[in-house]
Structure 1
């Protein structure tokens, strides 16, 4: 090893991204660097260790034995920097920066607005920009570096994404005023399933959770009398209020309507529709301190007091 050089975290991060992405061009795009700059940093790291880390002879780059040995250390160094940011964020309220996050529909419309208020009071110098869109769009924007991270309602599998459960939610059966079930203290799932339903569209997190629980209880979701599929929770609530059907919705999205008596929540016997909400971000990305701070805020507070 060259005596005057020091091991450079930035170079480790670049090496890890090249290995994860499978090419210098893909890593350059992800890191907002030129391809020659990425190549130069990896070569500097190879000079430091005095050995080749990547084989460039094939179309897709491959790791040498030394490169394979280095990978877990590079990954741990990224995680350590991320954890360091997180730990130190607890000691300062004078954080500045811009937080770019995406929320899938229920989270973005009903959960995040109630959390961003108290977060903004705790960290007034962090500017928040939130997009409300579906999970696929959030993932695309994260990959294209338009968003720091996203909060979504159902787990996803993507090789470039880090996913973590950050909060819990529960779906409730909601019925309109005057419905035969409105005055009931509870109802069986089989009985509820005999009524017409208004549901969120296929593929939504809310719909997936409901269908999975029905299957666990040996009820085929395709047997439901679905009179309407709608693309937003607000539209579903309006349709239920109008008496078009009943639905399963997040408890946090129906708070006001239930308080006003426009909708009624009816407990299901021996069945809970619980789910997790997840944060997702790029494995190879170093989250800005504003994003680390917000995720720490979600993990370390009892969010029920705001929801």
Structure 2
């Protein structure tokens, strides 16, 4: 297999199995288009996508069971290289009938007044929200958490019922806001985070992985442009 890989490198052919991991938001709302475009350009590539939260993806990359990972929170491991791909804005998301929907922006102190539907522990989104609240002088446990869920889709479904609000990536609710099912309310101050690509430090990186990293960075930045 190693010899085959070296031969492909020499002949300039980009192909083979590509083991990609991505945290939930990136995997569900951004990466399908990137992988589809990459496969069209390089038909001999066989992408295999694993979806998990940021912590799990990072661990799998460090263990070499994934070639490359995309995460939503800062990296916590020394054994991986982290490159920033693009910026993402997190915003309060609620049903059109919710009191927050009338606001042009919402402060952390306003948010604690309403029932909150949260992502699970280990989620990159949750980690970034907790850090943001602490920076703003609001304790994360002062949020009125009524439920924790591991899926952005499930979060959106519950929020649409009016049970509470959540905080999600702008990218995750584009369709629902366009259809008028949900409302996005920017936070004040704004909450901007980085999406990052992680890969093992010491492992030989194939031309396939290097080509995909460059391709994905450019595509993700374009998809996230306002």
Once the 2 structures are TM-superposed, how far is the Cα of residue 139 of structure 1 from its aligned partner?
3.6
User: Which residue does the alignment assign to 2:209?
Assistant: 291
C-alpha change, 1:215 and 1:144, in structure 2 (3 Å) is closer
- Kindly indicate whether the alpha-carbon contact (under 8 Å) linking 2:117 and 2:165 is maintained by their aligned counterparts in 1: yes
Larger Rg: 1
Higher relative contact order (CA 8 A, sep 6+): 2
Once the 2 structures are TM-superposed, how far is the Cα of residue 187 of structure 1 from its aligned partner?
3.0
Once the 2 structures are TM-superposed, how far is the Cα of residue 301 of structure 1 from its aligned partner?
4.5
Give the TM-score normalised by structure 2. 0.87
User: Which residue does the alignment assign to 2:17?
Assistant: 98
User: Which residue does the alignment assign to 2:200?
Assistant: 282
SS of 2:99's partner is coil
Distance in 1 (CA, whole Å) between partners of 2:213 and 2:123 is: 23
Distance in 1 (CA, whole Å) between partners of 2:31 and 2:195 is: 11
* Unaligned runs of at least 5 residues, structure 1: 1-31, 33-84
C-alpha change, 1:144 and 1:223, in structure 2 (3 Å) is closer
- Higher mean Cα deviation, 151-160 or 217-226? 151-160
Distance in 1 (CA, whole Å) between partners of 2:125 and 2:206 is: 30
User: Which residue does the alignment assign to 2:187?
Assistant: 268
The reply on whether 1:138 has 2:42 as its aligned counterpart is: no
User: Which residue does the alignment assign to 1:163?
Assistant: 82
- Across the aligned residues of Structure 1 and Structure 2, the Cα RMSD in angstroms comes to 2.3
The reply on whether 1:209 has 2:100 as its aligned counterpart is: no
- Kindly indicate whether the alpha-carbon contact (under 8 Å) linking 1:148 and 1:288 is maintained by their aligned counterparts in 2: no
- Kindly indicate whether the alpha-carbon contact (under 8 Å) linking 2:171 and 2:224 is maintained by their aligned counterparts in 1: no
The reply on whether 1:154 has 2:154 as its aligned counterpart is: no
1:248-274 CA distance string (max 9 Å, x none): 0011111111111110011233x1111
Distance in 1 (CA, whole Å) between partners of 2:205 and 2:63 is: 14
Distance in 2 (CA, whole Å) between partners of 1:236 and 1:146 is: 29
SS of 1:185's partner is coil
Once the 2 structures are TM-superposed, how far is the Cα of residue 283 of structure 1 from its aligned partner?
1.0
Within-5 A mapping of 1:213-232 = 213-232=132-151
Within-5 A mapping of 1:1-307 = 95-269=14-188, 271-301=189-219, 303-305=221-223
Distance in 1 (CA, whole Å) between partners of 2:200 and 2:220 is: 26
1:253-306 CA distance string (max 9 Å, x none): 11111111110011233x111111121121110112111111111334563347
User: Which residue does the alignment assign to 2:5?
Assistant: none
Number of residue pairs the alignment of both structures matches: 217
